[in-house]
Amino acid sequence: MWISLIGFTLVYAILAVIEVALLLKYIKQGAPEHVVADPYEEAAKQADEDKQLYFAY
């Protein structure tokens, strides 16, 4: 039992270290200078009836 508990703890500890390292890396890089155009810009110009349905219940 202790071996599996220690094993799971080590696996999740390693994943947490990787996550924090990646977060810090991308935080230091900052936001991108060039922002891609809005992908929905063309859909905003169309009439409601002509718009593509992206989500529905």
Tell me the domain boundaries of the chain: 1-30
CA dihedral for 42, 43, 48, 49, sign (positive or negative): positive
Give the pair of three-digit tokens for residue 1.
Answer: 């039992």
Q: How many CB atoms lie within 10 A of CB 51?
A: 13
Counting DSSP H helices and E strands in the chain, the numbers are: 2, 0
H or E element: which one contains 7? helix 2-29
Report pLDDT digits (tens) over 11-50. Answer: 999 999 999 999 999 999 998 787 777 767 766 666 666 6
pLDDT at 33: 82
The answer to whether the pTM exceeds 0.85 is no
